[in-house]
Amino acid sequence: MKLQKTISKTSLYSLLILVVLFVATSCKNDDDNSEPIEQTDLSTILNDYLNQNQSEDSPGLSVLIKHQGNVLYQSNMGLARTQGDHQVNQHTGFRIASVTKPFTAIGIMLLVEQNLVSLDNKLLDVLPELPSSFENIKISHLLSHRSGLLDYIDDNDDLTTLDGLTISQVPLIIPNSGLSNLVFEPGTEGGYSNTNYVFLAMVIEKISGMSYPDFIKANIFDPANMSNSFVISENDHLGDLNNNYALSFGNSIKVLGFDSLIYGANGIVSSTYDLNLFVDALLNYSIISEESLNLITQVQESLEEVDYGYGWMTGTGNYPHTGIYNSPNDFWHTGGFDGYRSVLSINPDLDLQVILLTNNGSIGYQKILDVFRLTREFIIDN
């Protein structure tokens, strides 16, 4: 496997979604599967849009919009799997792609809170088997995309080499892959790279003595009661947990033509129902402390289109669009992996949260933009 020596801009593709996204609205904890507690003009606006643009027989989407602890809008439309007519519902599991990164960052912060690792620790102190060229990379550099590492997906000119590759095999492929080459000196600038979060998952495994999937389940999924969420790995493939899961474009377990089993940067499967529970637990400091949450949502590096904290996009950024409500206290992440698109956006100042999942690729992406545009216009006008 040969990697190009410049970072592809593809890895920032999903970040652009948030230019129109993070003005979003509100969602009530829907653990009783109830209808929204109040019907609003926003519900009418979004229902009209989706009824006109989202068919029930195409790959679908799941939406939760939350405001001041109440569900303002919720919708599930279209197919999770085109064969067999499996409709999307609030418990349908989607690959959330890069929205996995906040979970990985939270996992690191849990180890920091236990004094098992420091953000200033060097990567090679924990994983000495990695190349010596990584000697100046710190844990904090990985979290904030300031390591200079190439991207194991976007800088890969032969994605078939990733088919079925597991995280334990990553160190073995580095010598012949080009991954040992750095784009810049660690800590001197920023560059979004999925590889950062693969290594963070490896750090979690080395420090905790648990597999990353088991650690995330024990420390995040279980405390938040996220019973329908799991991490794809060599032991758990898409659909192993239950039959209510969404395929990429409704028809494929593979993404970009390969079976993706490496986790940390992506790999989590979750639903709007579970992610709503996650947001509640996060904001109630049931998973990490208030101090840790404040730290990871502070701007650490300005990437090309967005500011980045530790595992979260945050701050107002340098966006090419105007007229968007943005607050330096917002934190969010987007994800894009083949047919999957995901958004998790939190605005503490307005007490707004948005969760949106789709398995319909660029078509679903356009619907994401439209739903958020309509939501934004409604919130600003009202």
33 phi-psi bin (left φ>0, alpha ψ -120 to 50, beta other): left
pLDDT, residue 326, reads: 58
Judge whether residue 31 has pLDDT over 50.
no
Judge whether residue 28 has pLDDT over 90.
no
pLDDT, residue 368, reads: 78
Burial (Cβ within 10 Å: 0-12, 13-18, ≥19) of residue 340:
buried
Q: What is the pTM of this model?
A: 0.88
pLDDT, residue 316, reads: 59
pLDDT, residue 176, reads: 79
In the block, tokens 């934190």 appear at 331
Query: What average pLDDT is seen over the chain?
Result: 86
- In the chain, % of residues over pLDDT 90: 65
pLDDT digits (tens, 9 = 90+) for 333-373: 989 999 999 999 898 877 888 899 999 999 998 897 788 77
pLDDT digits (tens, 9 = 90+) for 291-347: 999 999 999 988 877 889 999 998 755 433 333 455 677 888 989 999 999 999 898
Is 188 or 40 the better-scoring residue by pLDDT? 188
pLDDT, residue 324, reads: 45
Q: How confident is the model at residue 117 (pLDDT cuts 50, 70, 90)?
A: very high
Instruction: Answer yes or no: are the C-beta atoms of 94 and 359 closer than 8 Å.
Output: yes
pLDDT, residue 321, reads: 33
* Nearest Cα residue to 345 out of 366, 322, 325: 325
pLDDT digits (tens, 9 = 90+) for 75-110: 999 999 998 889 999 999 999 999 999 999 999 999
Instruction: Answer yes or no: are the C-beta atoms of 368 and 17 closer than 8 Å.
Output: yes
Instruction: Report CA 265 to chain centroid distance, whole Å.
Output: 8
Instruction: Answer yes or no: are the C-beta atoms of 157 and 3 closer than 8 Å.
Output: yes
- Its CATH architecture, for the domain 9-381, is 3-Layer(aba) Sandwich (3.40)
pLDDT digits (tens, 9 = 90+) for 206-265: 999 999 999 999 999 999 999 999 999 999 888 777 779 999 999 999 999 999 999 999
* Nearest-10 crossing angle of helices 361-381, 41-53: 160
pLDDT, residue 37, reads: 43
Q: What is the token pair recorded at 43?
A: 């519900």
pLDDT, residue 163, reads: 93
Phi, psi of 362 (to 5 degrees): -65, -30
Sorted by where each begins, the domain ranges of the chain are 9-381
